[in-house]
Amino acid sequence: MPMQHARRLWIKAPAATLEPSYAGGIVITGSTISELIPAGASPSSPVDEVFDAAEHVLLPGLINAHHHFYQTLTRAFPAALNKELFPWLKSLYPVWAELSQEMVEVSTQIALAELLLSGCTTASDHHYLFPRGLEEAIDIQMAQAERLGVRVHLTRGSMSLGEDDGGLPPQKTVQEEEVILADSERLIKRYHQSDDGAMRRVALAPCSPFSVSEALMKASAGLAEQYGVRLHTHLAETHDETEFCQQMFGLRPVDYLEKVGWLNNKVWLAHGIHFNDEEIQRLGRNGVGICHCPSSNMLLASGQCPTLDLEAAGSPVGLGVDGSASNDCSNMIQEVRQALLLQRLRYGASKITHQKVLDWATRGSAACLGRDDIGTIAPGKQADFALFRLDALRFAGAGDPLAALVLCGADQADRMMVAGEWRVKDGEVAGLDLKRLMARQRELAAQLAATV
């Protein structure tokens, strides 16, 4: 049998690109990018197919570095409205404790569809609820990600410090530490791919200082090191958390992180807001990644992440939509705009450009996830990209097309490719009946709300 020839596709001459070096487009061979085409030039050898991108802006696929897919079931949840993090969580924990297998399956599809349609090719999720009957929540998520063709970094979240032991979550939402560690090991062995181009990776993610024990933080770090997987958690999100850490551990959050063996470049943190200057330097020196979640931070009135200071100190900075109960959407390109607006308040207009925030959502998020095979458009990198049209009302009269995406508030990609496969075409997710899915999500959200 002759070797099958890998299909060569030229995405020809986009209306705009993030870098001028491929103004003439890119050639995809199989699952990777094989050639960058300068303005006005053609590919060096014949291609099988040409996609004329004259009406499209080409971006590297956006990478969402922090989310909780299941929270799409509790968007704008009445009992949680207008609250800050701790009271917001206390309103929602008892609801989330009633999640079923079908709820995880459907909410995962909803979140992934929303991410795909907003230009996101790689998504990380932080699932930390495993009530009885839902022990295989991550397995359910893995199956849905594979079905929709999204590249995922699914974290095995955990909560082990319940109210009875001084933690924030109710006792019925926490698990025994041996159960958590055994399941973490099972998931790594079953799903984690360490090679270049991996479609699924596993990371370990004890939920936060106020919901897991010191022993579980340390044991998770040991297990992650043993298997070469990354570590993720929420840190320095609110003043309440800092106070909790000082009372419970006698330490500020970063000191606690160091004590449990997490101050290294295998770790990325969600939020990272309340750091002092010395802590920023220490995080940067150790290469700890920070996923900035601007919408969530504004909605819960948590504060502003010191992004540029962290970057200058050496920390990779990425972006995440965070869970859809504190955003309450999962739209990645809109999160890019939120990052620009919020960070301009801190650092001024000239330092926070549209290119800067797009860089966080692509290369920066990839670095948080420990990858350099995605997040940029270059030969040999994965063929993960998004194409946006600029013909909606909101773009009418726009000048710079790349800036228009961010400043006019693009909200939907027209086309998306992951690992050389089209996953969104003409604004639709391949192989998904969105209407039917949304109807089922509405029913399940109502069922969940009725449990409390």
Choose among 258, 254, 232: nearest CA to 242: 254
Of 307 and 326, nearer to Zn ion (C-beta) is: 326
Of 149 and 316, nearer to Zn ion (C-beta) is: 316
- Work out whether 328 is an interface residue with Zn ion (CB under 5 A): no
Token pair of 298, please? 């504004």
Of 266 and 292, nearer to Zn ion (C-beta) is: 292
Which region, judged by CB under 5 A, interacts with Zn ion, from 43-51, 193-201, 305-313, 320-328? 320-328
Sign of the Cα torsion 185, 211, 448, 144 reads: negative
Token pair of 292, please? 């900035």
Choose among 356, 360, 359: nearest CA to 347: 356
Which region, judged by CB under 5 A, interacts with Zn ion, from 79-87, 201-209, 267-275, 367-375? 267-275
* Residues 170-209: x where in contact with Zn ion by CB under 5 A, - otherwise, as a string: ----------------------------------------
CA distance 155 to 229: 10
Which region, judged by CB under 5 A, interacts with Zn ion, from 6-14, 111-119, 131-139, 314-322? 314-322
- Work out whether 237 is an interface residue with Zn ion (CB under 5 A): no
Q: Are 211 and 205 in contact (CB under 8 A)?
A: no
| Burial status of residue 64 (CB atoms within 10 A of its CB: 0-12, 13-18, 19 or more) | buried
Which residues on neighbouring strands pair with residue 233, listed in sequence order?
269
Which region, judged by CB under 5 A, interacts with Zn ion, from 169-177, 237-245, 318-326, 332-340? 318-326
List the one residue from 114, 322, 328, 414 that touches Zn ion (CB under 5 A). Answer: 322
| Least Cβ distance, residue 96 to Zn ion (angstroms) | 12
Q: Are 293 and 337 in contact (CB under 8 A)?
A: no
Which amino acid is it at 436? R
| Burial status of residue 344 (CB atoms within 10 A of its CB: 0-12, 13-18, 19 or more) | middle
| Least Cβ distance, residue 234 to Zn ion (angstroms) | 5
| Least Cβ distance, residue 323 to Zn ion (angstroms) | 5
The SS3 call for residue 9 is strand
| Least Cβ distance, residue 113 to Zn ion (angstroms) | 20
| Least Cβ distance, residue 293 to Zn ion (angstroms) | 7
Alpha-carbon 183 to chain mean position: 22
Q: Which residue is nearest to Zn ion (CB)?
A: 322
Of 58 and 137, nearer to Zn ion (C-beta) is: 137
Length of the chain: 452
Which region, judged by CB under 5 A, interacts with Zn ion, from 35-43, 160-168, 321-329, 398-406? 321-329
CA distance 37 to 274: 44
Which region, judged by CB under 5 A, interacts with Zn ion, from 135-143, 264-272, 390-398, 424-432? 264-272
Of 258 and 322, nearer to Zn ion (C-beta) is: 322
- The residue ranges that bind Zn ion (CB under 5 A) are 270, 322
